[in-house]
Structure 1
Amino acid sequence: MIPVARPYLPRREKLDAYLDGIYECNVLTNNGPLVQELTRRLRDYLDVEHLLLVGSGTLALQVAYRALGVSGRDDRPQAITTPLSFVATASSLKWEGVEPVFADIDTETWCLDPDSIPPLVGGRTRAVVPVHLFGNACDTEAIEAVAAAHGLPVIYDGAHAFGARYRGASLLARGDATTVSFHATKAFHTVEGGAIVFRREADLARARTLINFGQAGPDQIEGVGINAKMSELQAAMGLCVLDEIEACLEPRREAWHAYVEELQTRACLQRMNGGLEHHSYVYFPVAFADEAQMQRVKDALLAAGVGARRYFFPALDRIPELNPERPASRTAGDLAARLLCLPLGSGRDATERVLKTLRAVLPGLGKAAGDG
């Protein structure tokens, strides 16, 4: 079975060398030398300054909310976010005691629609949490202008945006903070892990204390924290993958462009933000004419040994635990029902099998797919 996302495994001898170093120094966690090295190298590679490694992408979101004062308060805070994302975007808010308030998405970029934010701002709104969906850049200028007008921080969920560049700079440098996921299915991974990129050094310092139980030193506790640190074993894998990042990205990039060439006149594809200069190649989503057509395609691919996935279904505002008693979005709900992500990173033969199946099941699809 061809998976929708195949984890990249670096050369074993490279990983063994890092593991030997761990055994020699006998340090497994607590900001060890490999975590420090990976932090330095990622700052350089991503062209960002205030970067903090953590144990997962979900923890990255939770710590960012705490560091920026969105959560950890008793005034029933709310945050405006998108209904089209992985569940962790909203469930991390809920876990932190913040009520997610769902705006809607742009019909073409599929990211948070800036015009849908202002009507939702209320007395308990404490942040805006957009998502760079499938690696596409949000309309950051418009979102940040709306947030600034209401005195709200912007925390981007950039789980899909590793390495993406926007208008000459790292996309991860936008907003008050941007979180990243280093889960095994991502192009760059540490098996499990994540990072937060802060705009301000003071927020980074606060978050560094938060991820270490609230301890600023061995005998100095500055508040309530959590254990969100990245381990040396995670950092070792990350260093290996970073050493081979181009080898990891190349098959994803190749499949991406092959899909675009074949499907741009056959299906509805996500329109990339014009300011996006370098894509992350983490997912390839396709929107079909309706849910029935999406299911036919999914079934055909499965019969051909291809594990396409419905990312992201259902829309988060359709989940009662996340959106009680609120109306659901029109655009996001409709799109979520029609979306399917195709495999990336499994090689040319896998890509050709996917395309062969699509050619058989989708003749003349272009007009039927609609305008998304």
Structure 2
Amino acid sequence: MSRAPIYVTRPVLPPFDDVLPLFQDIWNSRVLTNGGAMLQRFEAALASYLGVEHLVLTSNATLGLIISLRHYGITGEVITTPFSFVASSHAIGWAGATPVFADLTAGSPNLDPAAVEARITPETQAILAVHCYGIPCDTEALARIADRHGLRLIYDAAHAFGVRSNGRALAAEGDLSVLSFHATKVFNSVEGGAIIAPDRDTRMALERLGNFGIEDEVTVTETGLNAKLSELHAAMGLALLPRMDDLIAARGRVASRYARSLSQIAGLDCLCPSERPGHNSYAFPVLVGPDYPLSRDGLYEKLRTHDIFARRYFFPLISDLPMYRHLPSADPAGLPNARRMADSVLCLPLYPDLDPSDQDRIIAILADPGS
């Protein structure tokens, strides 16, 4: 009997009946974009949920990163990670700056602060760090480095929706943090994102940059982008937001079940702290080591033969891609920890309503890959 495929993630959706009244409000207003009432409601509800005072909604996180860099006039070098989705580095290039890759902390998916500091030159203007899998970077060490060298510190927090660290919202760290509300994320508005800003003036400046640089009806003060979130996307996010505590808790239960079941399998190491308070269980990455019967790629292919689609997030390294491999900082000799991470990590299927029987299928293959 054929079984339905199991993908690495599956978008969560609000109840259809919760969306319809919001869509009816939009239909009645005939306002579809340009910061209408629905976007304003979503913005206020989201800021309250996240525990931040100022944020700017964007049509996606990539544009949020570009706007963040443009706001600070970053056109020199930006130290960043090679272990991320390509948008992190692409945004640096689209902003007119140059990515400089630094290595990861050994055994971690996040930047090594010492490696970051070693990459600083007179051309360095910013650090763009990623809270990979929602695991917080060493924010205190990175802040000290940024302060010491007069650099801007921007976080790609695409994986970190709702994560709390040291008693505060992780998205409040740095000069700016950018969240993603893409369909595959912990929280989504189908497409979308947000920039967490430190104050009202910064928020207003970011809003202008995301609306063509328009100051008022007759005044355009800078070369901005069109990064506005539509009313329809805002309605989707607004309908889903009240369910997020329950959905994150459900993700945590799936992650904990993986962690318990895989703890005795030699050669598989769970990377995410499924029991850490404040974590959002965005993903469930495992490191496939030499003691496991299959290589990482062998396990990836084995799962595929059973219609289980795990993902090698992130492989290859961004620094290996043709548009970046020419950079001096892309030399593999300077990125040994990132290389090991990219060559050994495999993200298992995880979403709030992953059926326990489907999870059992995955765990059984991991426990006995020769079957």
Q: Match for 1:287: what amino acid?
A: L
- C-alpha distance in 2 between matches for 1:350 and 1:271: 21
Q: How far apart are 1:273 and its partner, in Å?
A: 11
Q: In 2, are the aligned partners of 1:136 and 1:273 still within 8 Å (CA)?
A: no
- C-alpha distance in 1 between matches for 2:361 and 2:23: 38
- C-alpha distance in 1 between matches for 2:186 and 2:363: 22
Matches within 5 A, 1:30-179: 30-71=34-75, 77-179=76-178
Q: How far apart are 1:201 and its partner, in Å?
A: 2.8
Q: How far apart are 1:235 and its partner, in Å?
A: 0.4
- C-alpha distance in 2 between matches for 1:362 and 1:164: 38
- C-alpha distance in 2 between matches for 1:177 and 1:39: 17
- C-alpha distance in 2 between matches for 1:106 and 1:273: 20
Correspondence 1:9 to 2:13: yes
- 1:320 matched to which residue of 2? 322
* 217-226 or 245-254: bigger deviation: 245-254
- 2:310 matched to which residue of 1? 308
Q: Match for 2:271: what amino acid?
A: Q
* 309-318 or 169-178: bigger deviation: 309-318
Q: How far apart are 1:362 and its partner, in Å?
A: 8.1
Q: In 1, are the aligned partners of 2:155 and 2:177 still within 8 Å (CA)?
A: yes
1:361 is paired with a residue of what secondary structure?
coil
1:156 is paired with a residue of what secondary structure?
strand
- 2:239 matched to which residue of 1? 240
Q: How far apart are 1:222 and its partner, in Å?
A: 1.1
- 1:335 matched to which residue of 2? 341
- 1:269 matched to which residue of 2? 270
Q: In 2, are the aligned partners of 1:138 and 1:273 still within 8 Å (CA)?
A: no
* 10-19 or 226-235: bigger deviation: 10-19
Runs of 4+ in 1 over 4 A off after TM superposition: 271-274
Q: How far apart are 1:88 and its partner, in Å?
A: 0.5
What CA deviation, in whole Å up to 9, does each residue of 1:123-173 have, x standing for no partner? 111100111000000000001101110000100000000000001000000
- 2:284 matched to which residue of 1? 284
- 1:368 matched to which residue of 2? none
2:107 is paired with a residue of what secondary structure?
coil
Q: In 1, are the aligned partners of 2:107 and 2:341 still within 8 Å (CA)?
A: no
Gaps of 5+ in 1: 72-76, 364-372
Q: In 2, are the aligned partners of 1:174 and 1:199 still within 8 Å (CA)?
A: no
What CA deviation, in whole Å up to 9, does each residue of 1:15-56 have, x standing for no partner? 111111100111000011111111101111000111110000
What CA deviation, in whole Å up to 9, does each residue of 1:68-99 have, x standing for no partner? 2214xxxxx11000111111001111122211
Matches within 5 A, 1:213-228: 213-228=212-227
- C-alpha distance in 1 between matches for 2:158 and 2:272: 19
Q: 1:312 to 1:159 in 2, by over 3 A?
A: same
What CA deviation, in whole Å up to 9, does each residue of 1:314-372 have, x standing for no partner? 11111231241421211101210111101111232222221111111289xxxxxxxxx
Q: 1:101 to 1:224 in 2, by over 3 A?
A: same
- C-alpha distance in 2 between matches for 1:264 and 1:126: 43
Cα-Cα RMSD: 1.9
What CA deviation, in whole Å up to 9, does each residue of 1:168-200 have, x standing for no partner? 000000000000000000121010100000223
1:80 is paired with a residue of what secondary structure?
strand
Q: In 2, are the aligned partners of 1:161 and 1:180 still within 8 Å (CA)?
A: yes
- C-alpha distance in 1 between matches for 2:168 and 2:370: 39
What CA deviation, in whole Å up to 9, does each residue of 1:246-295 have, x standing for no partner? 34334322211111112234312226599x63112211111112696112
- C-alpha distance in 1 between matches for 2:200 and 2:262: 44
- C-alpha distance in 2 between matches for 1:295 and 1:229: 40
- C-alpha distance in 1 between matches for 2:173 and 2:345: 27
1:296 is paired with a residue of what secondary structure?
helix
Q: How far apart are 1:106 and its partner, in Å?
A: 0.8
Q: 1:79 to 1:278 in 2, by over 3 A?
A: same
- C-alpha distance in 2 between matches for 1:54 and 1:193: 6
- C-alpha distance in 1 between matches for 2:239 and 2:175: 30
- C-alpha distance in 2 between matches for 1:325 and 1:35: 41
Q: Match for 1:23: what amino acid?
A: W
Count, aligned residues: 357
Q: Match for 1:301: what amino acid?
A: L
2:254 is paired with a residue of what secondary structure?
helix
Q: In 2, are the aligned partners of 1:10 and 1:241 still within 8 Å (CA)?
A: yes
Q: Percent identity?
A: 36
Equivalent in 355, 363, 367 of residue 359 of structure 1: 367
* 311-320 or 284-293: bigger deviation: 284-293
2:295 is paired with a residue of what secondary structure?
helix
- C-alpha distance in 2 between matches for 1:271 and 1:235: 30
- 1:74 matched to which residue of 2? none
